[in-house]
Structure 1
Amino acid sequence: MTRTERVATVGTARRARRGRAGTTAALLAVAMTATLAAGCATGGDGPSRDGRGPDQESADTGREQTRAADTSVLAVKIDNAPRARPHTGLNAADVVYVEQVEGGLSRLMAVYATRLPKVVGPVRSARETDLELLRQFDGPTLAFSGAQRKLLPLIDEAPLRAEPPDRTPGAWLRGAGRPAPHNLFLRPGPLVSAAPGPAALTTGFRYGAAPTGGTELASRTVAYPSARFTFTWSESRDRWLVSMDGKAATTTEAGRVAPATVVVQYVKLRRSDYFDALGNNTPFTETVGSGRAQVLRDGKVHDVRWKRATAAEGTEFTTRDGAPVNFADGQVWVVFAKA
């Protein structure tokens, strides 16, 4: 069975989710209040112990730490401030979610199932939106730098394995040449012994032949109050080239960021109970429900509908007549835009 067939089969399945306890609230509180330098393998804001940058680090360090079973995805919350770029390990992700956070800025969540990078980051803090989004996976591991204190009990109760820096110190390092807090990186090896494979991608996504119709599209821009994403079709690469805030998005080790499919999913944003240090409210992105979306693949845009009936289910994308919509084989970016 091909990867496309396996993912298409699993993506449409409906199955009960097992509850899994996260780390304790006390442990996560330490991740918030203690300096991240103390919780990392290298300490401080400088380079790693051998002086190499994050993209050169071996994933073997910290193998003695307890790792997750090979059946669940690894989700990593990734910093997307201008100082956090270029990213490391982003091109290895199967799915990249883009969500709006406080101040109109953006954060990324990269989901890994078919392969694991040696290093990924920079890593930043979790948000309430992440907990609902991750319910579609069975016992995922969530790697993040910390969370607001009021959010800790929700993380503790969520059916996921929470991995802040304190829990598995050998998995974390500080990269050289970047100021804190934009220099915290993750070695997935100590957390996940191997990539679980496409069966773990219970997103509801289908892969295969393109839907009929569609409109030719050279580029598509999605703007948040303080962030902007542009996806430009490359005929030669058969991919969408990503730009952020007007600059090409690249990685430290794998060149240009170029997904095969981009989904602009229109969702409701509401105020949450959480605020940053400047008093900005963190919006909650409602990923359960239904609405309109645009699917970009093969140089075309398709107007579609999305539906996610419950948090434990993946998201279905259909044409106006109800036919399932296939994505192109390869990385998928899902950009949540305000409805």
Structure 2
Amino acid sequence: MWKKTAIAAMAAFLLTACSSDNEAADNNDNMADNNTEQTDQNQDKSDEGTEAQFHHPLTGAGSDEESQQRAVAVVVNNHPKARPQSGLDHADIVYEVLAEGNVTRFIALFQSEQPETVGPVRSARDYFIELAEGYDSFFVAHGYSPEAKDLLTSGSVDNINGMEYDGSLFKRADFRKAPHNSYISFENIEKGAEKVGAEMDTPPEPLKFIQSAEAEGEEAASVKLSYYENPSYSPVYEYDQAEGKYTRVSDGEVLEDYDTGNPVLLDNIFIVEAPHAVVDDAGRRDIDLTSGGNAYLLQKGKLLKIKWENQDGRIVPAGDAGLLPGKTWINIIPDNPGLEEFITVQ
């Protein structure tokens, strides 16, 4: 009898102990679940708080620090003998504009990034200076038209020019021939700014950027832009689905940086019509950069037909359209014959 009672008591004890252990395990599991849930909630809050405190003014990209860098505008050679160029992959904004004849040049604006070297550097036109002034840029060129020289020597814009600093601030590369071999380092740009007493610690006013998961418009995986059917100046913008950005192809070659081999990747391509007029026997032009007009905006493989306008010296999308955060190229083409004739969409 005693044995049966002892066995029954022992069984009850073990059952109670197991029940307590299971309850404790359940409680521990619940606590772990709660801790995991709290961790997830904290992580969600952390993710929500990852929005950058500062943004670069000309790209809209996030930054850990407030930008104190003045924009620098450099006239970059686009002759076939000047390709591939140096530094264009670091530019926040690049304008492509006609000079004399059917030759285009770039005005590359640097603010969020400074490449080690930029070039080949080429001569200025008055409307190049006008574009640079819209961002209060420090202006860098090698040479000038008569109209541009008047502006530069009058002090209308802080600048240095290779006509004065050839061989000192501007260096001649031995792998190319003049006039396609003038280069300048960002270190020497800063030295030049100091020489002429230009302040370099005031960033430009920020552009307006939109946040959009999807771009609007017609499919535009490949867009060819022809400046008067000149094959050397008929770039093709190709959409890279994997990158979500456009590359640029000239004469069958993807535009890459000469020094690094990095491709130029673009988030916005803005093609605008503007009145052009040849004004002298040398073929120099006047370009109306203020009146606005028709434009195409390429983003994320889509082409949107919109208008452009000039806001405080800057060519920007009009109306509700806007730039996506990232790098932007702006092609300025003659309004005669205009977009319908110059652009081929594939």
TM-score > 0.5 by shorter chain: yes
The 1:150–1:241 alpha-carbon spacing in structure 2 relative to 1, beyond 3 Å, is closer
Match of 2:219 in 1: 216
Match of 1:245 in 2: 251
Task: Using the TM superposition, give the Cα deviation of residue 71 of structure 1 relative to its aligned residue in structure 2, in angstroms.
Answer: 4.5
Task: Using the TM superposition, give the Cα deviation of residue 125 of structure 1 relative to its aligned residue in structure 2, in angstroms.
Answer: 0.3
Alignment partner of 1:293: what SS? strand
- Trace 1:45-60 onto structure 2 (pairs within 5 A): none
Q: Which of 132, 138, 143 is 1:141 aligned to? A: 138
Corresponding letter in the other structure for 1:281? G
The 1:304–1:290 alpha-carbon spacing in structure 2 relative to 1, beyond 3 Å, is same
* Alignment deviations for residues 238-293 of structure 1 (CA, whole Å, 9 cap, x no partner): 111101234322211142222111111111112235xxxxx531222221111111
Q: TM-score, normalised by structure 1?
A: 0.71
* Alignment deviations for residues 112-140 of structure 1 (CA, whole Å, 9 cap, x no partner): 001100101000000121122122122x2
- Trace 1:278-317 onto structure 2 (pairs within 5 A): 279-308=281-310, 312-317=312-317
Match of 2:275 in 1: 268
* Residue 336, structure 1, aligned to residue 332, structure 2: yes
* Residue 234, structure 1, aligned to residue 240, structure 2: yes
Corresponding letter in the other structure for 1:155? L
**Matched-pair contact (CA < 8 Å) for 2:129–2:139:** no
Aligned-partner Cα distance in 1 for 2:53–2:261: 22
Match of 1:7 in 2: 57
The 1:8–1:231 alpha-carbon spacing in structure 2 relative to 1, beyond 3 Å, is closer
- Of stretches 229-238 and 159-168 in structure 1, the one that deviates more from structure 2 is 159-168
> Which structure 1 residue ranges, 5 or more long, are not aligned?
11-69, 274-278
More helix per residue: 1 or 2?
2
RMSD: 2.8
Alignment partner of 2:74: what SS? strand
Alignment partner of 2:266: what SS? coil
Match of 2:161 in 1: 164
Alignment partner of 2:275: what SS? strand
Task: Using the TM superposition, give the Cα deviation of residue 334 of structure 1 relative to its aligned residue in structure 2, in angstroms.
Answer: 0.2
The 1:148–1:196 alpha-carbon spacing in structure 2 relative to 1, beyond 3 Å, is closer
Aligned-partner Cα distance in 1 for 2:278–2:240: 37
Match of 1:112 in 2: 110
**Matched-pair contact (CA < 8 Å) for 1:208–1:326:** no
The 1:156–1:236 alpha-carbon spacing in structure 2 relative to 1, beyond 3 Å, is same
Corresponding letter in the other structure for 2:219? E
Aligned-partner Cα distance in 1 for 2:54–2:303: 21
Match of 1:124 in 2: 122
Alignment partner of 2:298: what SS? strand
Match of 1:28 in 2: none
Match of 1:176 in 2: 174
Q: Which structure has the higher relative contact order (CA within 8 Å, separation 6+)?
A: 1
How many residue pairs were aligned?
A: 267
* Residue 206, structure 1, aligned to residue 209, structure 2: yes
Task: Using the TM superposition, give the Cα deviation of residue 82 of structure 1 relative to its aligned residue in structure 2, in angstroms.
Answer: 0.3
Alignment partner of 2:144: what SS? coil
Aligned-partner Cα distance in 1 for 2:147–2:101: 19
Task: Using the TM superposition, give the Cα deviation of residue 150 of structure 1 relative to its aligned residue in structure 2, in angstroms.
Answer: 5.0
Task: Using the TM superposition, give the Cα deviation of residue 155 of structure 1 relative to its aligned residue in structure 2, in angstroms.
Answer: 2.2
Q: TM-score, normalised by structure 2?
A: 0.69
Task: Using the TM superposition, give the Cα deviation of residue 110 of structure 1 relative to its aligned residue in structure 2, in angstroms.
Answer: 0.5
Aligned-partner Cα distance in 2 for 1:74–1:86: 21
